[in-house]
Amino acid sequence: MPVITVELFEGRTKEQKSQYAKELTELTTRVLGAPREHVWIVFRDTPKSEWAMGGALCG
């Protein structure tokens, strides 16, 4: 059972996440041979203020 965790800045629409989940599921099924119904995807939306890159806060 593949579990894919996707961490993003908050603000993506439900439609964007739905399309991304659909395509990640298709890719996982094709590459790993996992049945579609066994692919889990977890979205973690975090405000930019909680991220840092290159030693500096992003938001």
Residue 2 a catalytic site member: yes
Q: 6 near 45, Cβ under 8 Å?
A: no
Name 3's Cβ contacts closer than 8 Å, sequence gap at least 6.
40, 41, 42
The one catalytic residue among 2, 9, 29, 40: 2
Q: Distance (Å, rounded) from C-alpha 26 to C-alpha 36?
A: 7
Catalytic residues: 2
